[in-house]
Amino acid sequence: MQLIFEKSCEGRSCSMMPSCDVPVCEIPASLKRESAPKLPQMAEVDISRHYTELMKRTHGVNDGFYPLGSCTMKYNPKINDEMANLAGFAGLHPLQPVHTVQGALEALSVLESYLDEITGMDAMTFQPAAGAHGEFTGLLMIKAYHKANGDLKRNKIIVPDTAHGTNPASCTMAGFKVISIPSNEDGCVDLDKLRSVVGEDTAGLMLTNPNTVGIFDKNILEITKIIHEAGGLNYYDGANLNAVMGIVRPGDMGFDVIHLNLHKTFSTPHGGGGPGAGVVGCKNILAPFLPLYHTVKSGEGYEMEAPAQSIGSVRSFYGNYGIAIRALCYVMTLGKEGIPEASSNAVLNANYMRVNLQDEFDIAFNNICMHEFVISLTRTKKDKGVTALDFAKALLDYGVHPPTMYFPLIVDEALMVEPTETESKDTLDEVVRIFKEILKNANENPEALHEAPHTTPVSRLDEVKAAREPVLRYEY
C-alpha cells in the first residue's frame, strides 16, 4: 500500500474557498514561512479511500473477537460516541468562563458521584490521560500525604510480582523504591512475605484485584489491614474493573486511592495509543491532595476548586473530557442493575471459555477466574517447538485478535485471554473450536505454525527493530 505522501499529486485539493469579500491584509514577512509545507495534495475521494484502505488493514472489535487480556477490548455502544460529539460538549473551549459551561461541569460532577458509588471512594479527578498517568497521580498523592504528616522516611511501595508493568514504573517515576513480593501457589499475595517486608519505611501497597492471572485475592481485607497497621496506604489498580463493578468496591476492600481506565471498562474505544482517561478516586483523607482543579457544587451551580494541599496539575484543564461523557452515558444506560450484570457476564464468559479449553490446554492457576484467565503453552513449546508467539500469529489467520502474550511474567509462554461480556456464546464456541484446531495443527505440523500468519497484509514483523528504530517520519 502506498503512503499518503506517495499518492500526493501536485495541484489536487479538496477545499473550495469562497472568494474573498473583505480587504486583503498582507501577513508580515516575519510571520511567514519561507517555503510551503510539504503536505500531501489529494482529492477528497482519494483521501477517503486512503483511510478506508488503512482501516481494512487493522483489526478492531468491529472486525471480530479481540480477547486481549488486561485490556478489555469490548464493544462500545455507538450512542456514547454520539453523545460525546454533541456540540454542547465537543465545541467547548477549556478557557471559557465557568458560568458558560455549567452543564459540562454538572456532567463531570454527576459522573464523579456515580464512580464514587461504584468504587467506594469519596472524590475523584478526571485529569489523568491514561491508567499509568493515573497511577503516577495517585502515588504523588500518597507521597504528599506522608510528607504532610512529616513522615518522610516512607519511601517504599510494595508491589506483587503479578502487577502490571506500569505499576513498578509509576512507583519509580514518583520517586519511590519498589519492593516486589512473590505470589503463592494460588497466584495470590503471600501474606507471610508481605508481613516480612512492611515497616516504618512502607509508603504503601499497589495491588490489582482481581490480579493479572484473573484471580480475586480472598485475603484482600487482611492484606490492606497489614499495610494500614504499618502506617501505609493502599493503592488499587482498577484499570480492569470489568469483573467487579457493581459487585464489590475497592473502597470496601480497604483501598485509599484508585485509578479506573474509563477507556477499558467504561465505553471508550481504545488501542493504537489513545485517547484514554485514567481517573483517580480517593478517600477523604487524600482528597486535599487531588490535582487542580476539582469540580464542586456551589449553591445552584458548579465551580472549579483548588484542593487545599493539591499536588498541582498533571495535565491541562479537565482531562480527556469526551471520554468522561462516554462513561457517563454508559453508566446511566446500564444503571444499577446493568452494571453488575455486565460484570457477571464478563466473569461467566471467561469461565465458560476456560472450562471448555482446560482439557486440552494448561491453564495457569486453574480455578474459578474473574474476567480473564491465562493459558501456558510451555508444554507445546517443549514438545513441538511451538511458542505462544506462534500460536498468537496463527490466530490471525482465523480473524481472531491474539490474546495478550508473555504476560503476566510469572507464567511461561503465557496467553492471557479476556473474552469480555459483549461476546455471544456462539462466538465463544467458535473461538474455542479455533483454539483447539490450532493446538492440533501445532502437534501434527509444528513447522507450519512458525510461518503464520498467511492471510494478513504483513506477516512476521521485526518487533524489536520496530521498537528500537521506529520510522515515524516520511523522508522526501
Ligand X SMILES: *Cc1c(COP(=O)(O)O)cnc(C)c1O
Alpha carbons 416 and 403: distance in angstroms, whole number: 5
At its nearest, how many Å lie between ligand X and the CB of residue 264? 6
Say whether residue 261 binds ligand X (CB under 6 A): yes
Does 418 help bind ligand X (rule: CB under 6 A)?
no
Q: Cβ distance 245 to 343 under 8 Å?
A: yes
Buried b (16+ CB within 10 A) or exposed e, 196-228: ebbeebbbbbbbbbbbbbbbbbebbeebbebbe
Q: How far is the C-alpha of 446 from the C-alpha of 194, rounded, in Å? A: 43
For residue 98, give the 3-state DSSP assignment: helix
Nearer to ligand X, 239 or 438 (CB): 239
> What is the closest distance, in whole angstroms, from the C-beta atom of residue 47 to ligand X in the complex?
30
The smaller minimum CB distance to ligand X, of residues 240 and 387, is found at: 240
State which of positions 51-80 bind ligand X (CB under 6 A). 70-71
- CA-CA distances (angstroms) from residue 223 to 220, 234, 443, 457? 5, 9, 43, 48
Q: Which residue is nearest to ligand X (CB)?
A: 131
Q: How far is the CB of 235 from ligand X (least distance, A)?
A: 11
**239 is a contact residue toward ligand X (CB under 6 A):** yes
Q: Cell 474573498 identifies what position?
A: 20
* Amino acid, res. 444: E
Distance, CA of 35 to CA of 410 (rounded, Å): 55
What nine digits make up the cell of 283?
Answer: 478517600
Take residue 152 and report the three cell numbers written for it: 518522610
Amino acid at 195: R
* CB of 204 or CB of 276, closer to ligand X: 276
Nearest to 420 by CA among 409, 431, 412: 431
**237 binds ligand X, rule: CB under 6 A:** yes
Verify binding: residue 269, ligand X, rule CB under 6 A: no
170 belongs to the binding site for ligand X (CB under 6 A): no
- CA pair distance 224, 230, nearest whole angstrom: 10
224, 240, 343, 351: which one binds ligand X (CB under 6 A):
240
Applying CB under 6 A, the span of 236-244, 290-298, 317-325, 468-476 interacting with ligand X comes to 236-244
Exactly one of 127, 208, 265, 380 binds ligand X (CB under 6 A); that residue is 208
CA-based Rg of the chain, rounded to a whole angstrom? 25
Q: Is 404 in the site for ligand X (CB under 6 A)?
A: no
Smallest gap from residue 60 Cβ to ligand X (A): 17
Shortest spacing between CB 229 and ligand X, in angstroms: 26
Backbone angles phi, psi at 313, to 5 degrees: -85, 145
**H or E element that contains 450:** helix 446-451
- How many chain residues touch ligand X (CB under 6 A)? 14
According to the binding rule CB under 6 A, does residue 130 interact with ligand X? yes
- Angle at Cα 408 formed by Cα 419 and Cα 360, nearest 5°? 55
- Please report how close the Cβ of residue 253 comes to ligand X at its closest, in angstroms: 15
Hey, what's the cell of 407?
504476560
Q: Name the residue nearer to ligand X (CB basis): 101 or 279.
A: 279
Q: Binding of ligand X at residue 132 (CB under 6 A)?
A: yes
- Applying CB under 6 A, which of residues 164, 371, 381, 401 lies at the interface with ligand X? 164
Residues 272-331 that bind ligand X (CB under 6 A): 276, 278
Using CB under 6 A, list all residues that contact ligand X: 70-71, 130-132, 164, 166, 208, 237, 239-240, 261, 276, 278
